[in-house]
Amino acid sequence: MHLLFLLVVIFVLVILLKIVYSFIWVPYRIEKHFKRQGIRGPVYRLISGNTAEIQPIFAEALSKPVPLGHDIINRVAPFYYKWSVMYDIVKEILTKSDGSFEKISLNPLARPLFGQGLAGLSGQKWVIHRRIANQAFNMERVKGSSAKMINKWDEIGGDRDEFEMDVHKEVHELSADVISRTVFGSSFEEGRRIFNLQERQIVLFSKAIASVYIPGFRFLPTKMNKERWRSDKETRDSIRMLIETNKKAKEDSGNLLGLFWSSYKNQDGDEERLGIEEIIDECKTFYFAGKETTANILTGAIVLLALHLEWQSKAREEVVHTFGEHGILVAEKLNDLKIIYMIINETLRLYPSAVTAIRQTFHHDTEIWGEDASKFNPLRFMEPRKHLASFCPFGLGHRIYIGQNLAMIEAKIVSPTYVHASLLLVSLQPQYGAQIPLRRIISR
């Protein structure tokens, strides 16, 4: 009996020592190591993290009206703005592939959004999933959806020469349609329920991260946790149904889902297949990240063009010169759109492709971009950047965003479609979306 009690005590002590070592000693040692090199950051706290510092900074930022301009860092990421970074160090961390710098773990509260897909994987599993997914992204799948935008204008505008539409909403639907076809070979309508559930999960995630994170609290049956579990279950069930439908149809085997179902060779040369839960996690990742990234780029670009009519005119002239008066896009000529490319890059510099893209801080650094860093000026991209890490909207190194090419191709297709057919103006109430009045300049 005494021996059993002693073993239990030893076991508990070992667990406590491990907790102290992992959550107190190691972070303290790392913090001290960086301080000796002059690299400083927020103070580490075991339970609350940096919530005590972040919340007052957010409150201060939100207490002031939003200025008319692009200097948004003080408002949307005030904590990153105060904790400066050196982009040479960022470049080294992102481009090193020897395992010296591991990818930070995803917030457990984000798992319902991304699942355990590419965004959260590492090691050999990540290598396999990345290799499979690389095969799925090609231009034709995007090109086939771009004409829907003109049809959408006709539906909304009718016979009117001027009308207003929420571009943010419409490009989200277009991006959702593109990623649906890429992943499942299906359409936006078939995946609508999944997208709606993920929109709800974004709201729940935003509420959760705004409060103090307590390890293990997400497992308690609170009202918000139960809603998060229910949304996650419904999302997984909906994706599972689409997977079964796709398997029975056995069509369009070149899409991402078909590739994930295919066998692959592991590091020992043996053939294996991904499990159903792994595939569901990847579908969740691509449904969410694929839609949000491209839609945010397009919304930002279109709003900026509506604000800067001179660049809108230059872009329209380039589209007409490249594709002719009727603006029929030819995939092979997309790389000739130099001005459109500069506009997209400047959009990515000013506004991140995802709301969590913390690299946006040094995209606004006046030491890198000059005193006009907060101004919209696509001319700064006429020449290649001297420093690789000074502009990395999709990340750097071997973990660069896998959908980068898809997002850029879609932006290059949709942006010319907008500027060619309509004159973009600015609505008076962008706070409630991205309402852009469109004036038809080409007769039907």
pLDDT in tens, 380-392: 988 876 666 678 7
* Continuous segment of H or E residues that includes residue 226: helix 223-249
**Whole-number Cα distances in Å, 215 to 162, 220, 319:** 53, 11, 53
| Of 287, 297, 299, the residue nearest 394 (C-alpha) | 297
Residues contacting residue 356 through CB under 8 Å, at least 6 positions apart: none
Residue of 147 and 406 predicted with greater confidence: 406
The whole-number average pLDDT for the span 303-319 is 88
State the Cα–Cα distance between residues 379 and 5, nearest whole angstrom.
73
Rounded Cα–Cα distance for residues 341 and 254 (Å): 28
User: Within the chain, how many helices (H) and strands (E) appear?
Assistant: 20, 5
What gap in Å lies between CA 331 and CA 323, rounded to an integer?
10
Beta partners for residue 264, in sequence order: 272
Burial 288-304 (b: 16+ CB within 10 A, else e): bbbbbbbbbbbbbbbbb
CB 57 within 8 A of CB 74: no
Q: Report yes or no on 387 lying in a domain.
A: yes
Q: The tokens of 171 are what? A: 């490009």
Taking residues 106-131, report their average pLDDT.
Answer: 74
With respect to residue 395, please indicate whether it lies within any of the assigned structural domains: yes
Q: What is the rounded CA–CA span in Å between residue 166 and residue 433?
A: 6
Structural domain includes residue 195: yes
Instruction: Examine residue 64 and state whether it is found in any structural domain, yes or no.
Output: no
* Residue 342, amino acid: M
**Which pLDDT belongs to residue 428?**
42
* 72 falls within a domain: no
Distance, in Å, from the CA atom of 175 to the CA atom of 200, rounded to the nearest integer, reads: 18
Give the residue with greater pLDDT, 224 vs 434: 224
Strand partners, 166: 435
d(CA 105, CA 96): 17
* 277, two tokens: 């839960």
Q: Is residue 71 part of a domain?
A: no
Alpha helix stretches (DSSP H) within 108-166: 111-114, 123-134, 139-146, 148-157
Which of 165-174, 179-188, 195-204 bottoms out in mean pLDDT, i.e. has the lowest?
A: 179-188
Distance CA 220, CA 308 (A): 50
Q: Which domain holds residue 409?
A: 84-440
**Segment 416-427 mean pLDDT:** 63
How far apart CA 344 and CA 308 sit, in angstroms, is: 14
Task: State the CB neighbour count (10 A cutoff) for residue 331.
Answer: 13
Give the CATH number of the domain where residue 168 resides: 1.10.630.10
Q: What is the pLDDT of residue 429?
A: 41
Cβ atoms of residues 240 and 247 within 8 Å: no
pLDDT for res 424: 59
| Distance (Å, whole) CA 271 – CA 439 | 57
For residue 119, how many C-alpha atoms fall within 13 Å in the half-sphere facing its CB? 23
CB atoms within 10 A of CB 113: 24
Q: How many domains does the chain have?
A: 1
Tell me whether strands 422-424 and 271-272 are parallel, antiparallel or unpaired.
Answer: unpaired
Q: At 104, which amino acid appears? A: I
Q: Rounded to 5 degrees, what angle do the CA atoms 278, 283, 287 make?
A: 155
Q: What is residue 320's predicted lDDT score, i.e. its pLDDT?
A: 86
Beta bridge partners of 416: none
Contact 434, 303 (CB under 8 A): yes
Instruction: Let me know: does 406 contact 380? Beta carbons within 8 Å.
Output: no
Summary mean pLDDT of the chain: 74
221-254 pLDDT, tens digit per residue, is 888 889 888 988 988 888 888 887 777 665 545 6
- 343, pLDDT greater than 90: yes
Write out the E strands in 201-308.
264-265, 271-272
User: What number of CA atoms fall less than 13 Å from residue 48's CA on the CB side?
Assistant: 9
Chain segment 72-98, per-residue pLDDT in tens: 665 565 555 444 456 666 667 666 666
Q: What pLDDT shows up at residue 346?
A: 92
CB atoms under 10 Å from CB of 156, counted, come to 14
Q: Is position 52 within any domain?
A: no
Cα distance between residue 310 and residue 315, in whole Å: 9
Asked if residue 266 is part of any domain, the answer here is: yes
Separation CA 347–CA 407 (nearest Å): 13
